[in-house]
Amino acid sequence: MRKKIVAGNWKMNTTLKDGMELAQAVEKLEKEKTSDALVIIAPPYTHLSKVNELIDDVKLSAQNCASEALGAFTGDISPEMLLSTGAEYVIIGHSERRSIYNEDNELLNKKMKLALSTGLKPIFCCGELLEEREAGKLFDVIREQLAVGLKDITIDEMGKVVIAYEPVWAIGTGVVASPDQAQEMHKFIRDLLIDLFSEQVAEDMTILYGGSCKPSNAAELFANPDVDGGLIGGAALKAEDFLAIVNAY
């Protein structure tokens, strides 16, 4: 049985004080949750160690990490530093990192390998642009993102990876993928994992959907056989909405 996960990506939102309050509220509601999904929150770097003191059942993720282990990289944060704050997961390859910071598949592969060798569990994001979908290139784009992004990762290490499919046109737009569109791509990703790794890796992989997921549409997305949870942006900034998504499972 693969793990069900609902993860909240706070992006560049909340002051430290607001973030601590939000984390406490999420932890409290998590204790009353009615689903068996694992709940993860990804606050900004500056909040990680404080937030870690406030959560227990809720797990901690960072939103990004450096591609180098240590040294003269002003402003960057290494996987080992993240681990030392109590973070267990790290989001790698979010579309905002790809588009705003020009992070390409090769760089993301470097981050994936470093994060895994350090002991973090990566939540690896993939997703196509609207133009790519409209041009019929969506499967080629996802294949390339996974084949290069997950290159040289061992079958054992893949047991620590979570994949998030986030169509870029659905992120923060209010336009959610239909349940059929999500299922179609999640199935494609799972089949691709058989080619790239093994049947077992594919069967065990938790594949999250992300992009305008809300309490009102979560249940029909999560009802798909290959959708194993969600990566939530905007709706993760309100504990009640976030937990309503968790409880939609």
For residues 51 and 26, is the Cβ–Cβ distance under 8 A? no
Q: Which is nearer to ligand PGA, 58 or 201 (CB)?
A: 58
**What residue type is assigned to position 221 of the chain?**
L
Q: Is 166 known to be catalytic?
A: yes
Q: Give strand pairing partners of 59.
A: 40
By CB under 6 A, residue 234 contacts ligand PGA: yes
By CB under 6 A, residue 212 contacts ligand PGA: yes
By CB under 6 A, residue 171 contacts ligand PGA: yes
Q: Label residue 210 left, alpha or beta by phi (over 0 means left) and psi (-120 to 50 means alpha).
A: beta
Which residue's entry shows tokens 């909340």? 14
Q: How many Å apart are CA 158 and CA 171, to the nearest integer?
A: 26
By CB under 6 A, residue 231 contacts ligand PGA: yes
Q: How far is the CB of 90 from ligand PGA (least distance, A)?
A: 14
19, 43, 79, 210: which one binds ligand PGA (CB under 6 A): 210
By CB under 6 A, residue 9 contacts ligand PGA: yes
By CB under 6 A, residue 127 contacts ligand PGA: no
By CB under 6 A, residue 14 contacts ligand PGA: no
Q: How many Å apart are CA 172 and CA 179, to the nearest integer?
A: 17
Interacting stretch for ligand PGA, rule CB under 6 A, among 17-25, 31-39, 57-65, 227-235? 227-235
Q: How many Å apart are CA 79 and CA 68, to the nearest integer?
A: 9
By CB under 6 A, residue 159 contacts ligand PGA: no
By CB under 6 A, residue 142 contacts ligand PGA: no
Q: Is 94 known to be catalytic?
A: yes
Q: Which is nearer to ligand PGA, 187 or 238 (CB)?
A: 238
Q: How many Å apart are CA 77 and CA 109, to the nearest integer?
A: 17
172, 175, 203, 223: which one binds ligand PGA (CB under 6 A): 172
Q: Compute how many residues bind ligand PGA; rule: CB under 6 A.
A: 13
Kindly write down the DSSP assignment for every residue of 152-170, as one continuous string.
Answer: T--HHHHTT-EEEE--GGG
40, 58, 207, 232: which one binds ligand PGA (CB under 6 A): 232
142, 182, 213, 221: which one binds ligand PGA (CB under 6 A): 213
For residues 114 and 68, is the Cβ–Cβ distance under 8 A? yes
Which residues neighbour 216 within 8 Å (Cβ) at sequence distance 6 or greater?
none
Q: Which helix (H) or strand (E) holds 6?
A: strand 5-9
Known catalytic residues? Answer: 94, 166
Q: Give contact residues for ligand PGA (rule: CB under 6 A).
A: 9, 166, 171-172, 210-213, 231-235
